[in-house]
Amino acid sequence: MRLFYLIIGFLFLSQSTLSAQEDIDLSYYLPSGISYDPAIPQPSEVIGHEVGSWHVTHDKLVQYMMTLAAASDRIEIEDRGRTFEDRPVLLLTISAPENHERLETLRTEHLKLTESGASTLNPAGMPVVVYQGFSIHGNEPSGANAGLAYAYYLAAAQGPEIEKMLKDMVILMDPSFNPDGLQRFAYWANSNRSMHLNPDGNDREYHEVWPGGRTNHYWFDMNRDWLPVQLPESRARIKTFHDWYPNILTDHHEMGTDATFFFQPGEPSRVHPLTPGRNQELTAEIGTYHAKALDGIGSLYYSEEDYDDYYYGKGSTFPDVNGGIGILFEQASSRGHIQESENGILTFPFTIRNQFITALSTIEAAWNMREKLLEYQRDFFAEMRTNKGKTGSRGVIFGDPKDGARAWHLAEILQRHNIRFHELRSDTEIDGKKFKKGRSYVVPMDQKNPKLIQAMFEKRTTFSDSLFYDISAWTFPLAFNLDYVETARLPEVGEAVGALPPLQGGVDQRSTYAYL
């Protein structure tokens, strides 16, 4: 009899949870006690459903962001390019209306913190810059869906606190890091959604077909592409990064259904040695804001476990070698609309709310830590200029005497990262390796960010902790199968390369066997 009542109680609780999931509205996510501008449309008025009742498709996400930008003087929207499936790669720039009137001035002033002479700059009056990106893995959709409510909040919330915050801040919002993957997963979750939501993890809804929505159109994991910059989505956001050098960059992900919520810092023994200790101190301080916010809604969380800050090709680590703070969020995934987990019934709206609340805690931290973050950025680049001669290397030479295309493509990556490089004036030989003019390049360390160059070219073989989440590093010249040397004496070079000349070449005789 006791078992019977337990089963009945469980069914009642589950049915209540399902009903709550189906009846949810925007108030579930938004902070209470705040008034909202009635002229700003809510997501449901544009996309036709409440946030979290269905998985938003990318076309509806775009439709809402465009509508929001047209309705709000706090938002400018930019189409930075197209994915392989011809979807727009959007960027929302969100700030106080008076900041939009001088946005280019604010941007150029902010960049001065990274240049020589920055020690004389006083960041007290400068806005902090925050880049917030969602769902780089398309089947980790709570981030992009949270972006609907978050963008509405930034556009519609009223009161002296939000107005002061936006005056002191420029928010760069990337509503979908992976448009093609998000669309693929939304189709799967929505087309397999039951009329009466089924939390059984064996249901077809929670087992998407291969290749799934994690990757982009060509099945590339874009959260490994912040350094290689091979994909159109990555090229757009790397340009945005170097245009602004944000102080904080957030990367909203999902993990296994039976987990809770993770935010950085990660495992302390797995931080790349090129990342300054001050970076991790600031990351931990930002984490106190996330903890307070999650405590406020009663959500479980953890930090300083599982994940590492090593490979600089991820969104959460790339800022760490560029004078900013990268933050990884990992939310336990419902992988659909509602699913049983070790911690009870996990609903899609619950996962969205955690992502939404930590997006808010991020800008709260940025606002309160504004001068610290700006000073850290200024000091990061100033310290590299002071210590530029202490590495023992004045630069890197790379090339291939027979195949200039490989060197050209690596040079193309350097150019996307605003790294200066030169052509050789004449053929040269260093340490037994021959470098040919026109097929080799010289990268001097005496420039804005030698740490980024070091991260791309170093061969690190000893580690304080031999465990990694997946990747320790890519040594780029080895990836391209190029000869290279780090040298304390640079050969004679010409002017810095501007636009790379187009690749020349072709097949000069007919093969009777094969072409490679």
Do 286 and 280 form a contact (C-beta atoms < 8 A)? no
Q: Which of 445, 432, 435, 444 is nearest to 407 (CA)?
A: 435
d(CA 156, CA 37): 5
CA distance 344 to 495: 63
Q: What is the pLDDT of residue 506?
A: 72
Q: Are 337 and 193 in contact (CB under 8 A)?
A: yes
Angle (deg, nearest 10), helices 232-244 and 404-416: 50
Beta bridge partners of 182: none
Residue 115 is encoded by which pair of tokens?
A: 């240049």
Report the candidate in 136, 138, 109 with the shortest Cα–Cα distance to residue 121: 109
Whether 40 contacts 68, CB under 8 Å: yes
* 143 closest CA partner among 255, 286, 21: 255
Strand partners, 330: 253, 262
Tokens of 106: 């604010």
pLDDT value at position 473? Answer: 74
Q: How many helices (H) and strands (E) does the chain have?
A: 15, 16
At 466 the pLDDT is 80
pLDDT tens, N- to C-terminus, the chain (516 residues): 555 544 444 444 444 444 445 578 999 999 999 999 999 999 999 999 999 999 999 999 999 999 999 999 999 999 999 999 999 999 999 999 999 999 999 999 999 999 987 777 888 889 999 999 999 999 999 999 999 999 999 999 999 999 999 999 999 999 999 999 999 999 999 999 999 999 999 999 999 999 999 999 999 999 999 999 999 999 999 999 999 999 999 999 999 999 999 999 999 999 999 999 999 999 999 999 999 999 999 999 999 998 988 899 999 999 999 999 999 999 999 999 999 999 999 999 999 999 999 999 999 999 999 999 999 999 999 988 887 646 668 899 999 988 889 999 999 999 999 999 999 999 999 888 999 998 999 999 999 999 999 999 998 888 888 887 777 778 999 999 999 999 888 888 888 998 898 887 777 778 888 887
Query: What pTM, to 2 d.p., does this model score?
Result: 0.92
Tokens 């049915």 found at: 15
**How high is the pLDDT of residue 318?**
96
- Are the CB atoms for 172 and 93 separated by under 8 Å? yes
Confidence at residue 461, expressed as pLDDT on a 0 to 100 scale: 83
CA-CA distance, 329 to 326, in Å (whole number)?
10
Question: What pLDDT, on the 0 to 100 scale, is given for residue 13?
Answer: 44
- Are 180 and 59 spatial neighbours (Cβ–Cβ below 8 Å)? no
